[in-house]
Amino acid sequence: MVDFADGTTKAQFDAIESRWGIDLELADEEEGVDSAITVATGVSEEDEESLLELIRSNPDVEAAEPLMELKASFTPNDPDYGKQWNLKMINMPRAWDKSRGKGIVVAVLDTGIAYEDYDDFKQVPDLKGAKFVEGYDFVNRDKHANDDHGHGTHVAGTIAQATDNAAGVAGVAFEATLMPVKVLDAFGSGSSAAISDAIRWAADHGAKVINMSLGGGGRSQVMANAIEYARKKGVVVVCAAGNGGRGVVEYPAAYAGSVAVGAVGPKGTKAPYSSWGKELDVAAPGGDKSQGEEAGILQNTIAPGDYTKSVYAYYQGTSMATPHVAAVAALIYAAGAKNPDQVEKALFASAHPPAGQNGWSETYGHGVIDAEASIKALAKLEAEGDDALTVAPRIEVVEAPVDSSQIGAYAFGDLNWGPLAWAAGLLVFVLLTMGKTERPGFFNLLFKPAFAVPLVLVTIGMFFLRYFLAPSEMSVLWTLPIPEWLQKIIFGRGSLANPIVYSAAIPLLLSFIAIKLKAWRPVVGGLALGFAAILGYSAWAGAPALAWLPFTFMAIPFLVLNALVCLFIARAMLRTVKP
């Protein structure tokens, strides 16, 4: 393409072209008369450089360069794509022209995915058409890794939501394949043992990328080993840095071998909640709803408290930032990356530090990811070798290891201690509302197995069995709190929580027996207090959904009312026990 000085006529460049041995024609017969932009034909590749040098030396030529073919960037027809500011921030439209993640398996270790119609579980509409491989449920120990919380489905949607399907929203690597791996329960909690097993399982079953939008607890050597195992098998492990808004990157993001992801809002600045520190690798859109609801990350997921219904919801968190990075890692693998080192180099070298930042920082890592630039960076690696890109090494701060830790979408503890913590708070409330003459009996009860054992069984189950039995010898039912145990035994997994189980019905029935049999009163007191705690915790956590109720919103008032009834029963039982 040769651009002559404006006003150069066809007769003038026709007179010159014969000396150059080419044929020049106006690029546009009408506009070209003024612009004098021409296109040459008859140029061989071997003569191109020398010919360009000759043409550029002519004083009437303003510019001469190889003709390029450009095309429109892919724009999906999903109706709410325009609300996904996050995809534009990481340059997805241009990246989709180069890679869409085809053939790459991304394991989502989370609360599960609403990926199938099974029992009462329903696939969310915007995942219809997405690709899945068989996953596993490490909570219920079966092959149906369905979501009963909502967190995992939202995360999975960002990675590979069905796209260009004239419905809902788009996903980053929408031709990638999702592997649903449930490691967190309906309350968003799970053990480090299950997560460590799940990391190895995903690596052994074909995952090339693992997304863990979860964190908490201390350092686990077992989990660190699992991440190292996955990486050696060619898996990129991507983890959320944490939502504490402090200078501490949470585990598992802080382990060596994982990619630690912080969050930015629509303006590209660090989200207020996003943790930061020496182990941070990159930042990605995680949302900042302090700027408005639509400043969150929009995806299709299950309705809060009711996994039979679907909603489009704005979430925020480093949990939402992480799947952007996992999905771009899938794009890089699909574009030809051979190992995790290449994927991470392409990610880190192409990230954009914010204005004023020179290189890596504890706040943004290498910067905000750019999907298109990362694929270009990979091309440079392939053309020039692994030394073509240099990035600063990440730092792992090693703390004393712990045997196990509760990991969640930011829930902590070795088990789900939430209901037991609620029980402790309610015990304090009962103590404060008792008279001085009743308190000695109350304190005496705290150390009686007849009171303490039912309380523990209702709130956290027979957790101690896991320390004496191998996983193969232990049924998952044995370590469930009594309400969950009864729910699964009587009504089966995959059914909505039954109001008979999640109510004051059982303590109320047993209280009538205790009126006659005084020896039962400590037992019923502990049982009722445990039910009050787990019902109150369930209402606070927004789970579970209840069957039979005509409206979903009635579940929380129902749980609260029944928790108060249980608390009344517990207090009535306890105050009659003498020291």
Between these two residues, 65 and 544, which has the higher pLDDT value?
Answer: 65
Model confidence over 97-140: pLDDT tens digits?
999 999 999 999 999 999 999 988 999 999 999 999 999 999 98
Whether the per-residue pLDDT at 223 is higher than 70: the answer is yes
Return the bridge partners of 314, or none. 298
Question: What integer pLDDT is reported at residue 349 of this predicted model?
Answer: 93
230-249 b/e with 16+ CB inside 10 Å = b? bbeeebbbbbbbbbbeeebb
Between these two residues, 39 and 170, which has the higher pLDDT value?
Answer: 170
How far apart (Å, rounded) are the C-alpha atoms in residues 308 and 45? 62
Question: What integer pLDDT is reported at residue 443 of this predicted model?
Answer: 60
Model confidence over 495-507: pLDDT tens digits?
678 888 889 999 9
Give mean pLDDT, residues 348-356: 87
Question: What integer pLDDT is reported at residue 552 of this predicted model?
Answer: 73
Query: 61-64 and 2-4 as β-strands: parallel, antiparallel, unpaired?
Result: antiparallel
C-beta separation of 298 from 267 below 8 A: no
C-beta separation of 206 from 237 below 8 A: no
- Residues labelled as active-site residues: 110, 151, 319
Model confidence over 284-307: pLDDT tens digits?
999 999 999 999 999 999 998 788
With cut-offs at 50, 70 and 90, classify the pLDDT of residue 563.
very high
Model confidence over 464-509: pLDDT tens digits?
665 555 544 445 555 678 888 888 778 777 667 888 888 999 999 9
Whether the per-residue pLDDT at 362 is higher than 80: the answer is yes
Whether the per-residue pLDDT at 234 is higher than 80: the answer is yes
How far apart (Å, rounded) are the C-alpha atoms in residues 421 and 187? 14
Helices (H), 248-396: 318-334, 340-350, 371-384
Question: What integer pLDDT is reported at residue 438 of this predicted model?
Answer: 60
146, 176, 181, 572 from 143: Cα distances, Å: 9, 21, 9, 45
How far apart (Å, rounded) are the C-alpha atoms in residues 315 and 297? 5
